[in-house]
Structure 1
Amino acid sequence: MKKIIKNNIAVLALVFGIMAIYSACEPEEVGYKEYPEPTLGDFSPKAGKPNALVTITGTDFGDYADAVTVTFGDFEAEVIESVANEEIKVRVPSQVLAGENDLMVTVWTHDVAFSEVFNVLPGGVIDSIAPVSGVVGDIVTIYGKNFGTVESDVQVFFSGIDEPVQAKVLSVSDTKIEVEVPLAVSGPLTVQVDPQELQTERFTFPFVGVDAQFDSDNAGWVAQQNATQSVADGELSVEFVGGSQADLMFDGNTVIDVGTFPILAVRMSRLGDADLQIISDIGVFGNDYNTHSYVGGAADVVYWDLSAIPLVAEDGSESMLDALTVFREFGFHIDARSSEMGYSVDWIKSYESIALMKADIVENYPAGKLFWEFDTETLPAPDWTEEDYLNLEFVDHRNNPMWQEDGKFWATHTANRLGFWRAWDGTRLIVNGGYPAGVATPVAVPDIAYNPEYPIIALKGEFWGATPGYFWHNSQGNNPGVNLEGATQQLVGYTGEGQIWYIDGATTVEVAADYDTNNVNGTVWFDQWGFDYNSGAAAVEGTNYWVDWVISFKSVEELEAYAENH
C-alpha cells in the first residue's frame, strides 16, 4: 500500500508539473521538488526477538510515516512506532526468520540499506496448553519454546467479558509457563513474552449454572411450606398443603457464573395469578415480584436475566451481579392467588443468552405442544416499529389493525372476515398490502405441528357469538396439499370472559385423507395454520376482537382445568 501511495504521489507531481507549464501566462522554468536521499547512521539494539523495538538514526527521514518503509530481510515491518527526521522507531516483524537479516529503510522512492545486519533472535512459540478446560484456581501449563527464564518478562491473560483478565504466573522456563486460572470466560489465552504477544488455543470454562432435569428424581430441588412433591414422566409435581404457596429451593450450594450464563429459565405449569421471584441467602432478584418474561409460542417457559435485575439485600441495598456467585440458599418464591392446587416443573436451566435459550427451546420443545399467551405488548398496526413486528406472535393477514396488549392479541374489524394466522404462505407471517415502511421483510417462522399426544387445540377469545374456523394447510412431502377446516366446539360450562373454542384432532386431523402420508409417530406438520372468523352481519366495523391464548392440551379435562384460572 505504501508503495502505491509513493507511486501515486510521483505521478501526481508529474501531472501537476505539466499542468503548471501549460497554464502559465508566460513561459517560465518549472522545477520538480526533490526529496533528498536519507542517510543512515546506526540502529540499536543489534539483535532482538520478533516485535522488539528497534531505533534507527540518520538524516532526511522526514516526518511523514506513510512515506517510510522498514524491511528486515524479506519482511516489511508491520508496525512503525514513530518517524522523525533523524529517528525511526520500528518493531521487528513477526514473520521474520531467526538469524542475520539485512535492514533497509525506504523513504519515498529512496532505498538505503545498512551494511551491518540485524540478528533476529528465536521468538517464543506456543505448542499447546494443558488442560484445555478448568475452573478458577486450577493450574494451566503453556508448552512451547523460547520463553526465556525471566518471570517478570512473562504475562498471561485469560479472556474476559469487557477486557482480558491477568493470571498469576507461577513459574517460567524456556519451554513451559505455569499459571493459575483466574475468574474469566472461555476463550484463547494471550501470552506476553517480552516483547512478543502470542495466543493459545481456546481454554474453556465448564458450564457454571443450573441444569436440573427431573428424569428420575427431584435433582436436589425441594418444595417448601410443607408442600408435597413427586416425580413422574420427567416432571417434578408440587401440591400445595394448607395454603397456596410452595417455594422451590435447591438443597445445597448453587453456583452461577452470571457473567457467562446470566439467563435462568424454568419450564413450569403456568399459574393463572401468582407471585414469582428468585430468592437466595444474599438477596432477592428484583424490587418486586414477577420481573420475569415468557417465551412466545412456549409460554410455559419463564425466564430472568440475572445480569439485568438488581440483587436486593435484606437491608435494601442493591447490587448487579456479573461474575461467579455462590448461593448458600437459592430457589423460587411461588405463591398462587388463583385456584390451582399446585404446579409442575419440567426443567430449570441456565443459558448464555436469550437467543441460545430460544434456540434450545425450539429444538427440544415437544412437537405439537402449542402455547401462546401473548405476553409481549406491541403497538397497533400499521404503526409498528421494527421491535413491535418482531414481537408480534400472530398476524391478521387481511390487514386489519392488530396489536398485543394486556396479554391479548387484538384486531379491529374493518372487513367481513378476520384471519388470525401464525404461519402463512410458506412459513411466513404476511399481511395483505405489505408491511409498513421500515419493517423488514416477513421473517420465517417454524411450521406448526399436530401431535396426537396433544389432540385438543383450543383458543380463548371474543368473537361476538360466531364460531371461528380452524384452517390448516399441509403441502409437505408427497402431500398435494389439503385445507382442513376443523369442526370446532365451544367449551361447555365456561362462564369466564370471552369464549373458549377447541378442535379435537383425533376426529379431524387424524381422519384427514392425507394423514397416512405423514410421520409414523402421527405428527403432522402444517405450513399454513390459523383461524378464520366469518363474522357476517353479526360484526360491526370498528369492533375490536381479541384472542387471549392458543394452547394445545392432552385432553378436554386438561383444557377445562386450565380454563378455570385463565
Structure 2
Amino acid sequence: MKHLLRNMIGIFAVTLFVLLFYACEQDPQIKKYEYPMPEVSGMSPNIGYVSSQVVITGTNFGDRTEPVKVFFGSVLATKVLMCKNNRIVVEVPDGAASGDVTMQIWTNDVGVIGQYKVLPTPYVHSVVSDNPLGTGVAEEDDVVTITGENFGTDVNDIEVSFNGTSAKEIRLVDESTIEAVTPRNWVSGNVVITIRGYAMTGNALFNPNAKGDVTSVYLKNYKQPFAKASEESWKNGEWWTPADWIQNAVSFNADGSTTVSGMQYKAAEGYTLAFQHGWNKKQYANGKMYQQVKLRPGTYRLEVTYAYTKVLDGNFVAAFIVKGTEENDIPDTDQVATLDGTKGVYASYKTSTVDGASGQLVTASFNLEGETDVLIGFLTTMNSGANSYFKITEVKLVLE
C-alpha cells in the first residue's frame, strides 16, 4: 500500500513538472501595440508671435491631442488645439525663442520638424481719424492713423478692417505707424489690425453715414459673456459687480453673502446682467444700473435681449435712454412715464408668471439734434410677491 502511494505521488510530480515546463516554453499570447512612427511633411508658418497658431502636416499623427508634445526650443507648447486628419495645430507658448521645433507623439520621438522665428509681439496704442467731425468719426476715404509697436517692415503682412470691412488702402509709415483709408459703406464699430495672422482690436470708430448697430462705439460690456469688475463675489461665487456699469446703492445693496442685482453666473445660462428678489434677497425700489455716454446727432433706439426671466405682478423692469449725466437724471419708477421722447425713452417688461421667459425690450425712437450726454441702462423695482428675476444677455444700441 505504501509502495503504491509513493508511485502515485511520483507520477503526479512528474506530470506537474511536464506541464510547468510546457507552459514556460510557450510565448504568452499578449499583443503589444506599437504606435507607427509619425512622419512630418510640413510646418507653417515658420515665423510669427507668441500665441500664434502653427500647423503641422504629415501622417501617422493619430486623432488625440493628449500624446502630442511640441517644443519650441526647450519650451513645451501647452495648447495643442487639434490633432485630426494628419493635421496638428498648436499655439506658440509663452517663453518660446527662435530655433528648432521638435515633436513627440506617444513614445515616438520625431525629432526636429522645422525652425520657427519668434518676432516681438505687436501692440496697438491708438486709432484716430482725420475727419473734421472728430478723431472718433470716419467716413469713406478718411485716413485713419494707427500707432503702436512692432508692426514690422512689410505692408503685405498687414490687414486692417473696419468692423469687418477691409480698408481701401494700407500704408506702413514705419514700424510703429500704419495709415489705413476707410472703405465704402462700412458700419460703425471696432477697427481690427492683423499682422501675420495676429489680430489686435483697436478702439471703435463711428461712421455717420451708416445706420444700424452702433453699440460697440458707445457702450462697454454689453453682451454675454459679461465681464467682472473684480473677483469679489457673493453667494458662493454666483454674483459679481459687472465691469463698466454704474449701480446706485439701492441696486447694489449687498447684504452679507448676496446682492439684489449685478452680474450672475449659472452653468446653464452663462454670465447675465440680472435683477432679482427672493431667496433671502431684500426687496428694493428704484434700482438703477447704467452707463454714461455722449451720443452724436441722430435717431437711436435701445434693444435689450432677455432670457431665463420671471417677473411677477407688482414688480417693475425697464430699459431706458435718458438725457443727463447723473443718477438723479433717471426718473424713479413712479415718474418714468414722463419720458415722452423729449427727455428720453423707455421700454418696460410686462410682468408674467411664466418661468424662463425670453424676448426683447425695444424702446421708441429717440432723436438728438446735437451731440448729447445720455444715460443708458435699467430701472428696476423688485418689492412684491415671491421670487422674481430679470436676466439680460445683450444690450444693443441702434442708429436708425
TM-score (norm 1): 0.32
**Of the two structures, which has the highest relative contact order with CA contacts closer than 8 Å and spacing of 6 or more?**
2
TM-score (norm 2): 0.43
More strand by share: 2
